């Protein structure tokens, strides 16, 4: 799976800076996931044992889910953890791998930028209309802003990923998914 250079070799300083900066999002996604787990348990325990379900647990769960997914998405994208079909990896000319990754990542970045900009507009519209959630009356816009901005960040990181590949550096090793 390793391409031109072995992982652990000299990565350019800017990629290491990105690694460090993404630690923040990684911790955020971990904390939100733990909170999501606790939220579900408190809700069920309250309902089954104390007959006192947590008010608005469903709404909080939905917010936590979106935050979890979009905090983790830039990290997963930077580590090249998207599900791909790597069937042709052995026959694809090695010299072109970096360039292919550049093109592929730029396509992904363009697509993500387009939806991020549109989602940002949705958020602006819900600010205008003053949309709030049904039960807790929380404003709808902030989570949509979060989704839009982290999608945009993901787009940027994928573009950088493409550049990194074109320079001949492999992404950090990926772990097994599902």
Partner 1 sequence: MTAALIGFAALLVLVFLRLPIAIAMGVVGYVGFAALIGWNWNAALNMAAHRLVDTAQDYGLSVLPLFILMGTFVSRAGLSSELYAASNAFLGHRRGGLSMATIVACGGFSAICGSSLATAATMAKVAMPSMRRYGYADDLASASIAAGGTLGILIPPSVILVIYGLLTETSIRELFAAGFLPGLLGVLFYMAAVRFVVWRRPEKGPRAERTDWPGRWRALRGVWGTVLLFVVVMGGIYVGAFTPTEAAGIGAAGAFVIALARRSLSWPVLLDILSDAARTTASLFVVLIGALIFSNFVNRAGLPDALRDLVTAASLSPMVVIGMILLVYIVLGCVFESLSMLLLTVPIFFPLVQQLGFDLVWFGIVVVVVTEISLITPPVGLNVFVLSGVLRDVRTGTIFRGVTPFWCVDILRLTVLVLVPAVSLWLPAFLYR
Residues that bind partner 1 (CB under 8 A): 26-27, 29-34, 36-41, 43-44, 48, 58, 61-66, 68-73, 75-76, 79, 81-89, 92, 100-101, 103-104, 107-108, 111-112, 114-115, 118-119, 122, 143-144, 147, 151, 175-178
Phi first, then psi, for residue 139 (nearest 5°) are: -65, 140
CA dihedral of 155, 156, 159, 161, whole degrees rounded to 10: -100
* Residue nearer to partner 1 on the CB measure, 13 or 92: 92
Residue 115 CB, shortest distance to partner 1, in Å, is 5
Residue 132 DSSP symbol: B
Q: Residue 76 or 127: which CB sits closer to partner 1?
A: 76
Return the C-alpha torsion angle 67, 157, 102, 81, nearest 10.
-50
| Residue 39, C-beta contacts closer than 8 angstroms, at least 6 positions apart | 54, 57, 60, 61, 64
Q: Which is nearer to partner 1, 6 or 13 (CB)?
A: 6
Q: How far is the CB of 21 from partner 1 (least distance, A)?
A: 15
Question: To the nearest whole angstrom, how small is the minimum distance from the Cβ of residue 87 to partner 1?
Answer: 5
Q: How far is the CB of 135 from partner 1 (least distance, A)?
A: 12
**C-beta of 10 vs 74, nearer to partner 1:** 74
Which residues lie closer than 8 Å to 32 by C-beta, 6 or more apart?
Answer: 64, 67, 68, 71
Shortest distance, position 10 Cβ to partner 1, whole Å: 25
Say how far apart CA 132 and CA 139 lie, in whole Å: 4
């Amino acid at each position: 799976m390793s391409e031109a250079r072995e992982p652990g070799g000299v990565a350019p300083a800017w990629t290491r800076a990105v690694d460090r900066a993404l630690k923040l999002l990684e911790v955020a996604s971990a904390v939100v996931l733990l909170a999501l787990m606790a939220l579900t348990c408190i809700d069920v325990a309250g309902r089954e044992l104390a007959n006192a379900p947590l008010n608005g647990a469903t709404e909080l769960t939905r917010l936590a889910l979106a935050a979890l997914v979009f905090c983790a998405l830039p990290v997963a994208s930077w580590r090249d953890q998207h599900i791909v079909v790597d069937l042709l990896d052995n026959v694809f000319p090695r010299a072109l791998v970096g360039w292919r990754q550049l093109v592929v990542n730029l396509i992904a970045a363009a697509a993500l930028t387009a939806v991020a900009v549109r989602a940002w507009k949705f958020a602006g519209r819900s600010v205008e209309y003053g949309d709030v959630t049904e039960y807790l009356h929380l404003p709808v816009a902030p989570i949509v802003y979060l989704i839009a901005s982290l999608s945009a960040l993901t787009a940027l990181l994928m573009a950088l990923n493409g550049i990194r590949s074109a320079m001949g550096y492999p992404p950090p090793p990926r772990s097994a998914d599902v």
